[in-house]
Structure 1
């Protein structure tokens, strides 16, 4: 057999490894002050600090097994308290903004994988369905309709009927990510003005925020006798709850919120 024929019939198998594109070298992204600009959308990077958001999502930093074990132990503890005291309980995990825009990042060669996995699943854990249009463009938080979508999913889990039609307005906001970039441009965002069929009212509001330094350990209390349900809602969480009291206080007559409360023994 001639050499030419041998070469024509020769098949070479090679292992081709895909090298993930780094954020800093990606021509579609701009990074400044720990903020990633991708077109008109801003994202919090957290490189080598805080929660290491993108490093975890890109697999550069591994989530420690101890953290997952602690999560499940906390869930078991919380559920036991709820059962003992007779109240409804859900642990809500908000999908982070980069994961919601995952397909868009894939289009420029950046592979992101959720931190939330099967190891976090629990009957009382809710990982709501969120879409890109549910997030503010220049802020790390959900818009009003996005938060309302989360609340509706939680209430459905508890067997509540569908909420009345929301009445939206608009307000201007300097997004937290835009502020980190040193800008002061305003982004128009949705604000919930009310729920259809409910009377307008003045909600009583009490808070310990003015007497405490920083943003940890604050207590907020809202009372609205004209709310949709005469029920008490207790929230433990961070700014994803705090930024949307305008929604919670119209649904439940009492809303008690603890920001990042840490208990000591």
Structure 2
């Protein structure tokens, strides 16, 4: 498992990146602060594997992540997002962590459940903890909100996704790496062999560990895609456990055993900017791999 980086170290690096931001023109500043954070992209990805049952062909999953409500992302944006997700007609919805930026200081918590419970997915809504969901004594607040909104919170646990013909796949969810205690063996405890498995892990860099287990796909967030990327320099913001895998698709392990997808998230944190890393929703479609 990657070496832990302290929050203080991360903050020092983030504050240091401000010097680079001062180099942006006023137009670039406005774009990064006001325009790009509202430019939602919808990414379409096909999940193909031989262990996916035939009856799961065409099943649609929507992943959203890292709203960080209370920093820059607003309830108005969340309401709009819920409508956009429902228009995509997902069968499953996954939230991969960091709902509120500072849960213990968020003042509109009572408005969250009525919005989130409007999300509709006939096969279920699932979520995991991000580091901000634990921060500021927020663990119970986050769990209570998500469960009240009819999400299943997976904390080092698995859940079976079963269709009417009794075909099934397995969904795993582990705790956050920065402020929690992720436990892959515990999450896999009740998962039979030779079944297709998807892992939800807020921290993408835990894929280096996940590739050693019978896990086929991992969906993560946390990185914000680097949040601010400067040409010829690269990403300015690489949080702990998102140092290696920043955005998009990766294949890991001998024979590409594990596929990782890193969602860029929706909100911002530490700095109220996005530059060359626009927010995203990801739509995954399951597809049985033919022999």
Rg larger for: 1
Higher relative contact order (CA 8 A, sep 6+): 2
Common fold by TM > 0.5: no
TM-score (normalised: structure 2): 0.27
